[in-house]
């Protein structure tokens, strides 16, 4: 955790990507990504759910375990899925303990502001690092009316800043800011002693996170805030077509790929 604080103090941007399996997690870890988020975005990116809401703890833990087993330098942060922490600090602790004991995560993340400060406080006292998550909170999108920018207007911005303060004061080691106007995210970043990690929150945060499938161009559509740094989906499609053609034309397997004895 002291590396997070040192990075903020030195003004060194932090990098985070989502990861849901060992194959991609190993690549991201070796590429030097600072933090791997095993997000409940597993639901709408890997499990074909329309939102993150259906994801369960039992679905999350195998993904957390796979990422943790191959990460050699990156911090592994596990999301607590909808319905697994809101009822009480004790429920939150029980779920977080599973993420660390069964999944091997280093920290957990959950959505919500000041009303969850006691949850953060209990986990911190129990030795579990917590990442907060403010702004657009996907688990609450039904209440928010869909994927909408949060923190617009003076009152909403002040409320968001107060929530960030409450989480940090309770012991959160970082706060994710999602779909927040850049000036508001900059204000939060300036007043917090812990790092902010932005996603659709401008360049003024202490770090950035993206869903890896958006970052790598694995989907036909990406959110407005997500820059595509590659076109892996197109390359995979091309490789698959080439493989299928080789099989149908009987050019694969070639002699060098065949055991004679």
Going along the chain from its start, the domains and CATH numbers come out as 2-230 (3.20.20.60), 232-261 (no CATH)
Which tokens hold the place of 79?
């999301």
C-alpha distances out from residue 45 to 18, 37, 38, 52, 152, Å: 10, 13, 12, 9, 28
C-alpha distances out from residue 209 to 144, 154, 198, Å: 22, 26, 6
Query: Alpha-carbon distance 78 to 222, whole Å?
Result: 23
* Residue 131 φ then ψ, to 5°: -100, 130
pTM of the full structure: 0.95
Residue with tokens 């209440």: 143
Instruction: Return the pLDDT at 145.
Output: 84
Which tokens hold the place of 158?
């002040």
Instruction: Return the pLDDT at 207.
Output: 98
Give, for all 261 residues of the chain, the pLDDT tens digit: 889 999 999 999 999 999 999 999 999 999 999 999 999 999 999 999 999 999 999 999 999 999 999 999 999 999 999 999 999 999 999 999 999 999 999 999 999 999 999 999 999 999 999 999 999 999 999 988 888 999 999 999 999 999 999 999 999 999 999 999 999 999 999 999 999 999 999 999 999 999 999 999 998 888 889 999 999 999 999 999 999 999 999 999 988 888 877
Active site residues: 178
């Amino acid at each position: 955790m002291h590396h997070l604080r040192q990075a903020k103090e030195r003004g060194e941007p932090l990098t985070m990507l989502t990861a849901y399996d060992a194959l991609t997690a190993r690549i991201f870890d070796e590429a030097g990504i600072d933090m791997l988020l095993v997000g409940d975005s597993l639901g709408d990116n890997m499990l074909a759910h329309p939102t993150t809401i259906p994801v369960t703890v039992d679905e999350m833990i195998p993904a957390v375990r796979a990422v943790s087993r191959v990460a050699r330098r990156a911090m592994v942060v596990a999301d607590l899925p909808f319905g697994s922490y809101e009822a009480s600090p004790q429920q939150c602790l029980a779920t977080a303990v599973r993420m660390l004991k069964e999944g091997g995560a280093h920290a957990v993340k959950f959505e919500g502001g000041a009303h969850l400060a006691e949850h953060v406080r209990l986990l911190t006292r129990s030795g579990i690092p917590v990442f907060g998550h403010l702004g657009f909170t996907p688990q609450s999108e039904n209440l928010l009316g869909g994927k909408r920018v949060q923190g617009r207007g003076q009152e909403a911005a002040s409320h968001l800043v107060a929530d960030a303060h409450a989480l940090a004061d309770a012991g959160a080691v970082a706060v994710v800011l999602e779909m927040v106007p850049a000036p508001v995210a900059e204000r939060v970043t300036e007043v917090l002693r812990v790092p902010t990690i932005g996603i659709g929150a401008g360049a003024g945060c202490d770090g950035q996170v993206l869903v890896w499938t958006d970052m790598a161009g694995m989907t036909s559509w990406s959110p407005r805030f997500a820059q595509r740094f590659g076109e892996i989906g197109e390359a995979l499609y091309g490789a698959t077509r080439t493989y299928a053609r080789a099989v149908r034309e009987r050019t694969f397997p070639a002699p060098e790929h065949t055991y004679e004895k």
